[in-house]
Amino acid sequence: MNESERIIRDLKRDHKKLLNQFDAAIAECTLGTNAHTRLLEARSKQCERYRNELVRFGLLPENVGAAAKSSFHFVSHVSVIPANAEEARKLAQERDMQALLKNKLYYSDEDEAIRKQLDEEFK
């Protein structure tokens, strides 16, 4: 482990310990008191300093919002509906051709067994 990895490991460990201490102190304070508010602010500032250190070490980009872009893709599943008689005729011809080709293909159980046997022989 090199020096920078050790520093980063220690930074993460110390930050986690500090947050646990803040959480314990905040839990003991009464909600809405001045001490409670100051502890919340101090915890927030510590998290900000931690993020700045991670950016300085190059573990996080400076602007996380710019690095992570959202994109939305609309996918539509619409069956084909012919707009006129010509398109309807072409579509019917294509469906007939597909049915004709399907009938000429051999997909019986015997053929599949032969294919499997040949695959095993020629591996």
- pLDDT tens digit string along 21-30? 999 999 999 9
Domain segments of the chain as ranges? 3-64, 85-121
CA 103, CA 36: separation in Å to the nearest integer? Answer: 78
Task: Dump the DSSP string for 26-58.
Answer: HHHSPTTSHHHHHHHHHHHHHHHHHHHHHHHTT
pLDDT band at 106 (very low <50, low <70, confident <90, very high): low
- pLDDT tens digit string along 5-43? 888 899 999 999 999 999 999 999 998 899 999 999 999
